[in-house]
Structure 1
Amino acid sequence: MAKGEQTRQFIIEKAAPIFNTKGIAATSMSDIMEVTKLSKGSMYVHFENKEVLACAAVDHNMGMLNRKLQGALSQCKTSKEQLFAYIDFFSDPTHPPVTGGCPLLNFGTEADDTNPVVKEKVNSGIKQGQKLLSGIIEKGIANQEFKSDWKAGDFATILFAMLEGGHLMSRVAGKNDTMKIISNTLKNLIEQNSI
């Protein structure tokens, strides 16, 4: 990797947790300069403005979340184990897998009315998450782990939405009681659709 690309990646890695924690609007270039120890001129050599850096930070946070999730799912042998691992991966919002919490929730909430580029990135991430879950269920149906009439797409949407809602409620409350209820409910629904 060339030195310029290394510096660019360094800036993204340092900026990503700040954007995910404070939000795009509340994060200043001064915040990024403080953690990178780079001058404003150096920052603007690599990123033409804060919005460009923010988009790179969104991609970085979502990519990190996806890599960690894929690592957890790759340890599973069955589709049922994968669904349970997916739920468990998100079950402790007070100690999230990505600093600052779920980037889909954080950036989606901020960008839905203000930033169409980030909004589309988040929307794409949501669709990928639902597609992943739906694919796991469909594979489980094909392997006769789950009932053949289980609607994979519907349950993928329910699971995804309940975890995101639970994440929000738990982060705001500062405790995981809500997420425990949601996790148990989702696992019971999976059991009810298992053969």
Structure 2
Amino acid sequence: MSKAEKTKLFIVEMTAPVFNEKGYSGTSLTDITNATGLTKGSIYGNFANKDEVALAAFDYNLKKVTHIIQQEMDKKDTYRDKLLVYVHVYENFLKHPFPAGGCPMLNTATEADDTHPALKKRAADAVMAWKDRIIAIIEKGILNGEFSKKTNAEQIALTMIATIEGCIMIAKLTGKMHYRNAIMQSVEKLINTL
């Protein structure tokens, strides 16, 4: 890895939590320089603008979450258990190295919906990729005889994502973590009825 690549990675690693907690519009250049200890010139010598830093920070945060889920799924043998990883990880997210500020998809989608087309697209692409991963697990589970052949994989995937993301939003908004557990029990029931 070249020095320039190391510097870019350092900037992303240091600013990813800031963008995830403060959002794109809430993160200033001063926040970026404070987080990195670098000058404006160093930041813009590595990234064309704040948009590029924000997109790279989103990708970094998303990769952290995806990695956590995949690591846990790799430990499971059945497709049902692989789906249940979502329940267990999101119920116990404090035990995992989640990005500061919570779910980057939820945070970014909420903020960028009407204000930042590039970030909105990045968040939408992440949700669609998540949907496709769940569909693939369900389809393999159907082929393996674990799930009913009548299962609508896309409907289940979208319901799981909407419920998980809604769960995160409700728990974060109200500060009532027991809501998270109650809602995640509904996701668990859904998976167990496939």
TM-score by length of 1: 0.94
Amino acid at match of 2:13: E
Q: How far apart, in 2, do the equivalents of 1:61 and 1:20 lie?
A: 8
Count matched residues.
Answer: 193
Per-residue deviation, 1:192: 2.2
SS in 1 for 2:91: coil
- What does residue 167 of structure 1 align with? 168
Q: Residue type of the partner of 2:182?
A: I
- Map residues 46-195 of structure 1 onto 2, 5 A cutoff: 46-92=46-92, 97-193=98-194
Matches within 5 A, 1:7-22: 7-22=7-22
CA contact (8 A) 1:93 1:170 kept: no
Distance 2:192 2:35 in 1: 46
How many Å apart are 1:92 and its aligned residue? 4.2
Shifted more, 40-49 versus 92-101: the winner is 92-101
Distance between the aligned counterparts of 1:65 and 1:184, measured in 2?
A: 21
Instruction: Please state how far the C-alpha of 1:77 moved relative to its aligned partner.
Output: 0.5
Q: Specify the code of the residue in structure 1 equivalent to 2:49.
A: N
Distance in 1 (CA, whole Å) between partners of 2:180 and 2:147 is 24
Please state how far the C-alpha of 1:108 moved relative to its aligned partner: 0.6
Letter in 2 for 1:22: K
Q: CA deviation at 1:46?
A: 0.7
Higher helix share: 2
- What SS is found at the alignment partner of 1:98? coil
Say whether the 8 Å CA contact 1:24–1:54 is kept in structure 2.
yes
Structure 1 vs Structure 2 CA RMSD? 1.4
Distance 1:19 1:49 in 2: 14
**Paired letter, 1:172:** L
Matched, 1:6 2:1: no
Helix, strand or coil at the partner of 1:90: helix
SS of residue in 1 equivalent to 2:25: coil
**Deviation (angstroms), 1:74:** 0.9
Question: Is residue 94–residue 175 contact of structure 1 (8 Å, CA) maintained in 2?
Answer: no
- Is 89-98 or 157-166 further displaced after alignment? 89-98
Cα 1:22/1:93, change in 2 over 3 Å: farther
Structure-1 separation of matches of 2:21 and 2:110: 13
Letter in 2 for 1:116: P
Give the 3 Å change call, closer, same or farther, for CA 175–93 of structure 1 in structure 2: farther
Unaligned runs of 5+ in 1: none
**Percent of residue pairs identical:** 35
Normalised to the residue count of structure 2, the TM-score between the two structures is 0.94
Work out the CA distance in 1 between the residues paired with 2:91 and 2:178. Answer: 10
User: How many angstroms apart in 2 are the aligned matches of 1:120 and 1:129?
Assistant: 14
